[in-house]
Amino acid sequence: MRLNKFISESGITSRRKAEELILQGRVTVNNKTITTLAFNVDPEKDIVTLDGERIRQKKKLYFLLNKPSGYISTTDDERGRKTVLDLIPVREKLFPVGRLDADTTGVLLLTNDGDFANQLLHPRNKIIRVYEAKLDKELEEKDAERLIKGILLDKRKSKFERVYFEKPKDRTRVTVECVEGRNHFVKRMFTLLGYEVKKLNRKSFAGIEANIPVGSYRELTIAEIKKLYQHNV
């Protein structure tokens, strides 16, 4: 691991500021001053200090939240609205992996691992998101086909990977799979075809399902974390 990354992931400063500290000669590795930005360290073996104080890498945390309606997916809010962090009372600084609208419910991952989150959200990894949308009217077959083939959104062709009905007799309740992470993507796709999304629930993200009550959270299992890491190619 690069030395500047090790320092930033300890939570004491940003990666850019860590580079400045290294160049200033304030960082040592195993009692040797290091001023090379490309220097690599082994977090398990090497002892890194800043101004004589040892830097310890913080534990990486990964949480699943079954988000209820009425909470915004940010770390804080100037208007004093409730945020998803209000639902996870841990001391460590967490942030959501992507966002869900305030009125959207379901799977939301939170972590303190910035690189991990960025990789999951990168378009090249094509992470599957599964949503259930409650529409104001029945979805016509021709429109379901258009959503799969693709329609223009933001001047570019956009589509769902799959469109299907959990209960075939209820065509107002539609399940869609997509790899897009743009803001309000699912709602805007339906709006373009003349439908209003009355309710939206994210059933899964990267294969992680909301298998806990609404409003509750839990740490991801080792198996789930490994599964998510497999997407970071």
Return the CATH number at 12. 3.10.290.10
| Co-location of 45 and 140 in the same domain | no
| Co-location of 116 and 156 in the same domain | no
Q: Which amino acid does the sequence have at 196?
A: E
| Co-location of 152 and 190 in the same domain | yes
| Co-location of 113 and 137 in the same domain | no
Write the CB contacts of 221 (distance below 8 Å, at least 6 apart in sequence): none
User: 36 burial class (0-12, 13-18, 19+ CB within 10 angstroms)?
Assistant: exposed
**φ, ψ for residue 13 (rounded to 5)?**
-165, 175
Both tokens assigned to 184:
């309000």
* Residue 75 DSSP class: S
The 10 Å Cβ neighbour count of residue 85 is 21
| Co-location of 175 and 153 in the same domain | yes
| Co-location of 192 and 138 in the same domain | yes
Write a three-state SS string for 16-70.
HHHHHHHHCCCEEECCEECCCCCCECCCCCCCEEECCEECCCCCCCEEEEEECCC
| Co-location of 16 and 112 in the same domain | no
Q: How many Å apart are CA 66 and CA 55, to the nearest integer?
A: 34
> How many structural domains are present in the chain?
3
Q: What is the CATH number of the domain that holds 134?
A: 3.30.70.1560
Task: Provide the domain limits for residue 218.
Answer: 62-123+209-229
| Co-location of 132 and 118 in the same domain | no
Q: Looking at 94-229, which runs of residues are DSSP E strands?
A: 95-96, 105-111, 129-135, 151-153, 156-158, 162-164, 173-178, 197-205, 208-209, 217-219
Q: In terms of pTM, does the model score above 0.75?
A: yes
pLDDT of residue 45: 92
Write the CB contacts of 122 (distance below 8 Å, at least 6 apart in sequence): none
Both tokens assigned to 146:
């258009």
pLDDT of residue 232: 58
Q: How many Å apart are CA 179 and CA 121, to the nearest integer?
A: 10
User: 165 burial class (0-12, 13-18, 19+ CB within 10 angstroms)?
Assistant: middle
Task: Kindly list the catalytic residues.
Answer: 101
Write the CB contacts of 217 (distance below 8 Å, at least 6 apart in sequence): 63, 64, 65, 66, 87, 88, 110
One digit per residue, pLDDT tens: the chain, 233 residues?
A: 899 989 988 878 888 899 999 999 999 999 999 999 999 999 889 999 999 999 988 888 999 999 999 999 998 888 989 999 999 988 788 999 999 999 999 999 999 888 888 889 988 999 999 999 999 999 999 999 999 999 999 999 999 999 999 998 999 999 999 999 999 999 999 999 999 999 999 999 999 999 999 999 999 999 999 889 887 54
